[in-house]
Amino acid sequence: MPTVDSSRMANAIRALAMDGVEKAKSGHPGLPMGTADIATVLFTKFLKYDAADPHWPDRDRFILSAGHGSMLLYALLYLTGYKQMTLDQLKNFRQLDSKTPGHPENFITEGAETTTGPLGQGVATSVGFALAERLLAAEFGGEVVDHYTYVLCSDGDLMEGISHEAIALAGHLKLNKLIFLYDDNGITIDGPISLADDVDQVARFKACGWDARRIDGHDQKAIAAAIRRAQKSDRPSLIACKTIIGYGAPTRAGTSKAHGEALGAEELAGTKKALDWEYGPFEVPDDVLNAWRSAGRKGKRHNKEWRARLAAQPDAQRDEFKRRVIERKPSQNLNEAIRKLKDKLVAEPPTVATRKASEMALEALVPAVPELLLGSADLTPSNNTRTKGLKEVEPGQYGGRYIHYGIRELGMAAAMNGIALHGGYAPAGGTFMCFADYARPAMRVSALAYIPTIYIMTHDSIGLGEDGPTHQPVEHLASLRAMPNMRVFRPADAVETAECWQLALERPKGPTVLALSRQNLAPVRKTADTDNRCAHGAYELVAPNGEAKVSIFASGSEVEIAVAAQQQLSQRGIASRVVSVPSLELLLEQPEDRRQAIIGKAPVKIAVEAAVRFGWDAVIGADGLFVGMNSFGHSAPAKDLYKHFGITAEAVVSAVEKRLG
């Protein structure tokens, strides 16, 4: 590497960040300017990457949890020579269709490992990255998998509650290759951090099983020494780097004015002068750029050596690694496993809760789909997520396939996102559906960033019973269905559950929620179907006897109620049909003709779901009938609650008869 003063290299980041924000008249210059020294040390001396091959599976991961400082990342990607990151992209910062959006988005920018807009998400997602690395190394060997996960995080990341779940889990699991570089700049949007916080972060991390120390974040030697120490630790490491936000800005450095707006022409000029940086907007002198480009090429050799090591693996091992980590294809045994299971279920239809049906599906899937990585937020016996004999992941021992995530729904969701993004595993984790609210910020990242995380959410209605309204989802189906790219399945019996599991595992670019009942459900699917009937979101489960006057739509545990109502209507001479709707939003996404064919033309439409009506009008119309909830639930046995809230076959029949006059 040519010898260029490394503080000039850091100043190149500062200048590009300032210029990018200035041109956009929008963005956050303070963090890139404050952390340029840290980033320079990391990207020139430690980070294992090959700018020419952003997807190299054994690269170190760099996660900018403080995503508002995105110009730091974009400047680094440009400087180190990522092909996609041209100077024009930096000039188009925060504009439509640029590769330089306001916050890093992994689905837009090569080199952005994950989407980090909402504070704390990067920190928590990184735990999944680091865990996936350890799991893969245990499975495929350190020859093929051996990399660090570095996280640059901010005060905001560490104030968010999600950070506690993340660091406690990482500390517990002894994820020693996870290294946090904390931009300890003492400034938040409202002013000095002392307005709202005085946590001793080093002591806090130590209490959670981390190595932690403080350094001067502008002393490049100290930064290097701290990273070197952290790499050797037997636990995850926090390096709290004392920095000056907006470093170099004559009047704004060290103040909240440096955080989230363009500096303005005068302050920008003053900063460049103070930094002794005599170049125009977006201009980087050749010596500095060459030094950076040279750093970006350093990994090429390691990459080549790694490819040789991978090639030397036994065929089966290498092919499996390629399938799971590089091509990310589902197991070819998946379809067969589900087909066999369905045959078995049709032969002897079980009356089980769909959470139990999910366990039955998992018993078939675990051997067939080796990437399946199960877990629960401390509800293992309730979520039915752990199959017989499934070995658990333990601190320092990563050969298991089951994770005790602890009472950390949000931390679990974010960790699963990280695992899925890293590649190699299909994470699926359980909690009660009501606690989707806790997990929601990370679930939104799954949906937004096209991450195939699977959420196993049991106890999906008032059918939960005695635990009461805080544990009974009522609005959760609606709130999840409303989220773009989120797939919600609520299967009605064991066969539908198997089909929904298949669809979840085959979905490459987005998350799936499996909403499962606590209570036993009668089987409704009794014939062998080679096709997956849940694939279009809904289907006619019971055909009418004659021209249907009534279409009854239902999902999950209410499908058996719909079937019973259909029979009662039939006895009264009213022809009706039942449409099972395992996924309302998938039904609505179908092409017009298919959607209309499934919905049908019966003059009376009624939906039955133990949840709020919100969203169902798209199927049944604003004048459609609805049997369900319009309030929170109560604490009582499930049977009493269904009766109390009038979610019964009799209520369906009575509503239909009233409408028919």
CA dihedral 334, 336, 339, 343 (to 10 degrees): -130
CA-closest candidate to residue 51, choices 306, 326, 297, 305? 297
Contacts of 65 (CB under 8 A, 6+ apart): 116, 119, 120, 121, 122, 123, 126, 151, 152, 153, 154, 157
Nearer to a copy of itself, 548 or 641 (CB): 641
Q: Show the binding pattern over residues 169-198: x = contacts a copy of itself (CB under 8 A), - = does not.
A: x-xx---------------xxx----xxxx
Closest to 15 (Cα-Cα) out of 257, 250, 243, 247: 247
- Is 68 annotated in a binding site? The answer is yes
* Secondary structure (3-state) at 484: coil
Taking CB under 8 A as the rule, does residue 479 contact a copy of itself?
yes
Distance CA 226, CA 214 (A): 9
Which DSSP string corresponds to 248-267?
T-TTTTTSGGGTSS---HHH
List all residues 6 or more positions away from 354 whose beta carbon is below 8 Å from its beta carbon: 491, 492, 493, 494, 496, 497, 516, 517, 521, 556, 557
Restricting to residues 262-301, name those near a copy of itself by CB under 8 A: none
Question: Residue 299 corresponds to which tokens in the numbers above?
Answer: 């990994």
Tell me which H or E stretch contains 89.
Answer: helix 87-91
CB of 177 to a copy of itself, least distance (A): 19
Rule CB under 8 A: choose which of 71, 76, 127, 483 binds a copy of itself: 483
Q: Any known ligand binding at 219?
A: no
Least distance (Å) from a copy of itself to the CB of residue 479? 4
In the complex, minimum distance from the CB of residue 353 to a copy of itself, in angstroms, rounded to a whole number: 16
Residue 198 or residue 593: which is nearer to a copy of itself going by CB?
A: 198
Interface map 123-152 toward a copy of itself (x if CB under 8 A): ------------------------------
CB 469 to a copy of itself: min, Å: 6
565 to 624, contacts with a copy of itself by CB under 8 A? 612-615, 617-623
Q: Does 484 bind a copy of itself (CB under 8 A)?
A: yes
Least distance (Å) between residue 573 CB and a copy of itself: 28
Q: Establish if 59 lies at the interface with a copy of itself (CB under 8 A).
A: no
**Of residues 624-643, those binding a copy of itself (CB under 8 A):** 629-632, 634-637, 640-641
Tell me how far the alpha carbon of residue 416 is from its chain's centroid: 6
256 is annotated as contributing to ligand binding? no
Nearer to a copy of itself, 57 or 111 (CB): 111
Nearer residue to a copy of itself within complex by CB, 154 or 331: 154
- Non-local (6+) Cβ contacts of 601 within 8 A are none
Would you give the DSSP letter of residue 299?
Answer: H
Beta bridge partners of 557: none
Q: Which residues between 205 and 234 bind a copy of itself (CB under 8 A)?
A: 206-209
3-state helix, strand, coil in the chain (%, to 5): 45, 15, 40
Query: Is 117 marked as binding a ligand?
Result: yes
181 and 187 Cβ atoms separated by less than 8 Å: no
Q: How many residues bind a copy of itself (CB under 8 A)?
A: 110
Sequence-ordered list of residues with C-beta below 8 angstroms from that of 191, at least 6 positions apart, any chain: 256
Q: Which stretch binds a copy of itself (CB under 8 A): 297-305, 312-320, 462-470, 648-656?
A: 462-470
Any known ligand binding at 536? no
- The answer to whether the beta carbons of residues 435 and 406 sit under 8 Å apart is no
118 annotated ligand-binding residue: yes
Annotation-wise, does 55 bind a ligand?
no
Which position among 14, 23, 59, 103 is part of the footprint of a copy of itself (CB under 8 A)? 103
Ligand-binding site membership of 147 (annotated)? no
Among 482, 543, 597, 660, binds a copy of itself (CB under 8 A): 482
**b (16+ CB within 10 A) / e for 162-178:** bbbbbbbbbbbbbbbbb
- Contact assessment for residue 607 and residue 624, using Cβ atoms and an 8 Å cutoff: yes
Q: Would you say 138 or 159 has its CB closer to a copy of itself?
A: 159
466 is catalytic: no
Instruction: State the Cα–Cα distance between residues 604 and 544, nearest whole angstrom.
Output: 13
Question: How far is 581 from 585, CA to CA, in rounded Å?
Answer: 9
Looking at the Cβ atoms of 2 and 395, the one nearer to a copy of itself is: 395
- Rounded to an integer, what distance in angstroms lies between the CA atom of residue 333 and that of residue 461? 33
103 is in an annotated binding site: no
- Residue 155, annotated ligand binder? yes
Tokens encoding 91: 């000039």
Residue with tokens 């020579």: 81
Residue 651 corresponds to which tokens in the numbers above? 């209520």
Among 201, 220, 331, 512, binds a copy of itself (CB under 8 A): 201
Per CB under 8 A, contacts with a copy of itself among 499-558 are none
* From 57, 101, 491, 537, residue interacting with a copy of itself (rule: CB under 8 A): 101
**Which of 5, 88, 143, 200 is the binder for a copy of itself (CB under 8 A)?**
200
64-93: contacts with a copy of itself (CB under 8 A): 67-68
Of 409, 499, 560, 609, the catalytic one is: 409
Q: Judging by beta carbons within 10 Å of its beta carbon (0-12, 13-18, 19+), is residue 349 exposed, middle or buried?
A: middle
- Closest distance to a copy of itself from the beta carbon of 602 (Å): 14
CB burial readout 518-547, b (16+ within 10 A) else e? bbebebbbeeeeeebbbbbbbbbbbebeee
Contacts (CB under 8 A) with a copy of itself, residues 106-125: 115-119
Query: Which residues, numbered 423-452, are part of the site for a copy of itself (CB under 8 A)?
Result: 434-435, 437-438, 440-441, 444-445, 447-448
Q: For a copy of itself, which residue of 163, 176, 185, 583 counts as binding (CB under 8 A)?
A: 163
**How far, in Å, CA of 512 to CA of 510, rounded?**
7
471 among annotated binding-site residues:
yes
Alpha helices in 257-314 (DSSP H): 265-274, 286-297, 299-311
Instruction: Check whether 302 is labelled as a binding-site residue.
Output: no
Question: Which residue, 145 or 413, is less far from a copy of itself as judged by CB?
Answer: 413
Query: Could you tell me if 334 and 502 are in contact, meaning their C-beta atoms sit under 8 angstroms apart?
Result: yes
| 235 assigned binding-site residue | no
User: Is 119 known to sit in a ligand binding site?
Assistant: yes
When binding is defined by CB under 8 A, the residue of 42, 288, 338, 478 that contacts a copy of itself is: 478
Residue 127 CB, shortest distance to a copy of itself, in Å, is: 13
Using the contact rule CB under 8 A, the part of the chain among 50-58, 320-328, 375-383, 525-533 near a copy of itself is 375-383
The least CB distance from residue 640 to a copy of itself, in Å, is 5
Site for a copy of itself in 25-54 (CB under 8 A): 26-27
Binding region = 28, 68, 117-119, 155-156, 185, 187, 259, 355, 382, 435, 459, 467, 471, 518
Binding region for Mg(2+) = 155, 185, 187
- Which of the residues are catalytic? 409
Binding region for thiamine diphosphate = 68, 117-119, 156, 185, 259, 435
